[in-house]
Copies of this chain bind each other. A is one copy, B any other.
Amino acid sequence: MKKQLFVGLIALLLTQCAVAQDNYTQYVNPLIGTKKMGHTYPGATVPFGAVQLSPDTDTLPYSVNGKYNADVYKYCAGYQYDDPTIVGFSHTHFSGTGHSDLGDFLIMPTTGKLQLNPGTAAQPETGYRSRYSHSSEVATPDYYKVKLEDDNIMAELTTTTRVGVHQYTFPKSDEAHIILDLMHGIYNYDDKNVWTFVRVENDTLVTGFRQTNGWARTRIVYFAMTFSKPIASYGFANFKTYPYKGFYKRFDQSNNFPEMAGEQIRAHFDFKTSENEKLLIKFALSPVSTANAIENLRIETPGNDFATIRKQGEQKWNEELSKIKVETLNKDAKANFYTAMYHAFLSPTVYMDNNNQYKGLDQNVHKADGFTNYTTFSLWDTYRALHPLFNLIQTKRNNDMIKSMLAHQEQSVHKMLPVWSHYANENWCMSGYHSVAVIADAIVKGTNTFDANKALDACIQTANVSYYDGLGEYIKRGYVPDDIRPNSVSTTMEYAFDDWSIAQAAKKLGRMDVYNTFLKRSQNWKNVYDASIGYMRPRLSNGSFRKEFDVLSTNGQGFIEGNAWNYSLFVPQDPEGMIAAMGGEKKFIPHLDSLFTMHLPDKFFEETEDITRDGIIGNYVHGNEPSHHVAYLYNFAHQPWKTQERVRMILKKQYKPDVDGLGGNDDCGQMSAWYIFSTLGFYPFAPGSDDYQLGSPAIKKAILQLENGKTFTIDVKNQGDKNVYVSRVLLNGKEFKGTTLKHSTILGGGVLEFVMSSKH
């Protein structure tokens, strides 16, 4: 007894210590980016959590009468701030993507007459959706609250890694309902649902799955849901009928029949509620089975106390957010910083049950041996800064993510590392094979806990799949011919960069034959450079450059998410070579200057994907990733003060702590990772190198907690809004020369001091 009391006291003290610490979640505003193009969601989740439980204000069909419905685009994350109604709360969401999927298992509480259709935003009373007001809305990383006005229900959401927890406070009602809509989904269209299945196991437990054919072609998510009080009655409606009804027809399946299945079904669970009665729903997901979902639920939410679960989520966020402690010039900057940290730590997401089982790319069930399996790899975006950020302050997770990619490669019928993968599927979105840069970055920086040589083999295999996106031609000719593949130039340039990163890893591992092969390939950008005009340009299979060509257009010019003007600067593996090719520093610097100052005519802006007008500065398009390294190019032209100036300008113009504060899609955290690095004063210019380029820190102080137990402090003297120029840098008190910071330097711990000035 005494021992228990003592343990209890220690626990209490520890809890109070935790409370006494700074609560970093207070600085996060999940609503940032929920208006217009940010494509973020405001709901509840834990860091890298498998469940993203968030309100959907609408979803819209992906296509109408067989034609793409452009309006669907703004619903990539299910929530648009200006929408007047909430349809319900679904359990899976991407953060910041420019294409979408998911939105699984929508739950909505209602009272009164049962309605099994969502209704419309204009007439919410025609369905189960509800009006709401932002004044009742509370959003913190793992907690979301809103009043559903139509039926006077207070909704609160929180999560564990694999369990969404709903708490609904009802009015007194003899007809309280929980709608489970299995037809609901993001980027839905007729027949996107392949099959759905529900079993009412007993009066508090329901299980099932949803199988879809969308961005992920063969995707299935399993669930187990418990109610805190017994279901009084239940039923479902099937919105698609078949010629063959089967012998189930002998049952009245719509009422209290515990098996539901079909392509298009919505279920309801009915209760009687007293005034202010709270109904708790725990909703666990699994990539493998309902049995695993039940286990996830049992393990992660043994109790029914919403407040305790919420507190645990908050603690998880605090642990992650506090990995970088910053002092900022003002409150807005702090909100920006910790919201960026929050966005950066949303994905990739855990894709594995508590028993380590997960579904592999081959649709078989695998067991992760010694790592946590992750999914949602938006690698065209995230190899640039997000994975380097993880490599620095989430080293273990980054290794687990790479182990997940390597497992994907083993399971791939193409023996390819992920391009853009989610939920046991390769969706083939965007171009390149940027997994290799993530892997090389870990090998070169020496942070890898995976087998580096095996991983390098996987990279080499990936880089030699001849039928993939012009790759065979690229290997043969040194470029992707424009008459054979669209986006031929950007694809060529991305392959060349990826090849360089493979070369760097090979060098580190002493495999010089591989190094030589891929270093040679990394120079292939030269094959699409048209020296006569000073830009990269589409090249045909006969060797000539394409005639019709506009460097400002992004429409069918041989580039994706970027025009030739921007993309021509994408040679992070050889900036000096690129500057030389472009006529040397003298010619290059005014050329680069003009990028930020020129006016991009409206007709070209309109072609630019994924961003608002605010998302561009001159012709510099920060909202799309291919230019993310561009501001740092001045360092290589010996005018670092211009890098400093541009970086601070971009930080200021492109990131605002407002609902519409993001100029473009957050892209699974890549935009946020750019913010974090740049505001700290350095940036991973070329992942696969152990160098960072210095920029201009925008914080006053930052302490990075490294996983080796050391801390690396960035201490900024004379910081100010106008003091954007770095006049002096000291490392551990000693003068620091040049603009290149080594990863190994950071790992050694210590203090990097910047002295700022308003003049350069």
Question: Using a CB–CB distance below 8 Å, which chain A residues touch chain B?
Answer: 62-63, 66-68, 187, 189-192, 194-195, 197, 199-201, 207, 209, 211, 213-215, 217-218, 242-244, 246-248, 250-251, 256-259, 261, 263, 289-291, 362-365, 413-414, 420, 427-429, 467, 469
Contact partner of A365 (CB less than 8 A), chosen from B246, B248, B365, is: B365
Q: A213-B195, A363-B197 are in contact. Are A467 and B256 (CB under 8 A)?
A: yes
7 contacts between A and B (CB under 8 A): A189-B244, A194-B194, A194-B195, A195-B218, A197-B363, A215-B246, A290-B363
A108 to B: closest C-beta gap in Å: 24
Whether A68 and B243, one on each chain, are in contact in the complex, defined by CB atoms closer than 8 angstroms, is yes
A561 to B: closest C-beta gap in Å: 14
| Copies of this polypeptide in the complex | 2
Which residues of chain B have C-beta atoms less than 8 A from A259's C-beta?
413-414
Whether A195 and B211, one on each chain, are in contact in the complex, defined by CB atoms closer than 8 angstroms, is yes
Whether B414 and A258, one on each chain, are in contact in the complex, defined by CB atoms closer than 8 angstroms, is yes
Whether B215 and A197, one on each chain, are in contact in the complex, defined by CB atoms closer than 8 angstroms, is no
Which residues of chain B have C-beta atoms less than 8 A from A200's C-beta?
413
Which residues of chain B have C-beta atoms less than 8 A from A199's C-beta?
362, 413
A274 to B413, CA, bound (A): 30
8 cross-chain pairs, A with B, having the tightest CB-CB distances, nearest first: A63-B243, A247-B428, A291-B364, A258-B413, A199-B413, A289-B364, A194-B195, A189-B243
A414 to B257, CA, bound (A): 9
Q: A256-B467, A363-B209, A413-B201 are in contact. Are A248 and B195 (CB under 8 A)?
A: no
Whether A365 and B289, one on each chain, are in contact in the complex, defined by CB atoms closer than 8 angstroms, is yes
Of the listed residues A63, A200, A291, the one surrounded by the most CB atoms of chain B closer than 10 A to its CB is A291
Closest B residue to A194 by beta carbon equals B195
Contact partner of A242 (CB less than 8 A), chosen from B195, B213, B243, B248, is: B213
Closest B residue to A67 by beta carbon equals B243
A201 to B410, CA, bound (A): 11
Which residues of chain B have C-beta atoms less than 8 A from A469's C-beta?
250
A5 to B: closest C-beta gap in Å: 43
Which residues of chain B have C-beta atoms less than 8 A from A195's C-beta?
194-195, 211, 213, 218
A313 to B: closest C-beta gap in Å: 29
A719 to B179, CA, bound (A): 72
Whether A217 and B248, one on each chain, are in contact in the complex, defined by CB atoms closer than 8 angstroms, is yes
Which residues of chain B have C-beta atoms less than 8 A from A291's C-beta?
362, 364
Whether B217 and A261, one on each chain, are in contact in the complex, defined by CB atoms closer than 8 angstroms, is yes
13 additional contacts, CB 8 Å, given A194-B263, A218-B261? A63-B243, A190-B243, A191-B263, A194-B194, A197-B218, A214-B246, A215-B246, A248-B428, A250-B428, A251-B467, A259-B413, A290-B363, A291-B362
Whether B242 and A189, one on each chain, are in contact in the complex, defined by CB atoms closer than 8 angstroms, is yes
A362 to B195, CA, bound (A): 15
A211 to B193, CA, bound (A): 14
Whether B192 and A244, one on each chain, are in contact in the complex, defined by CB atoms closer than 8 angstroms, is yes
A472 to B76, CA, bound (A): 49
Closest B residue to A255 by beta carbon equals B467
Closest B residue to A262 by beta carbon equals B213
A218 to B199, CA, bound (A): 12
Whether B247 and A427, one on each chain, are in contact in the complex, defined by CB atoms closer than 8 angstroms, is yes
A56 to B263, CA, bound (A): 29
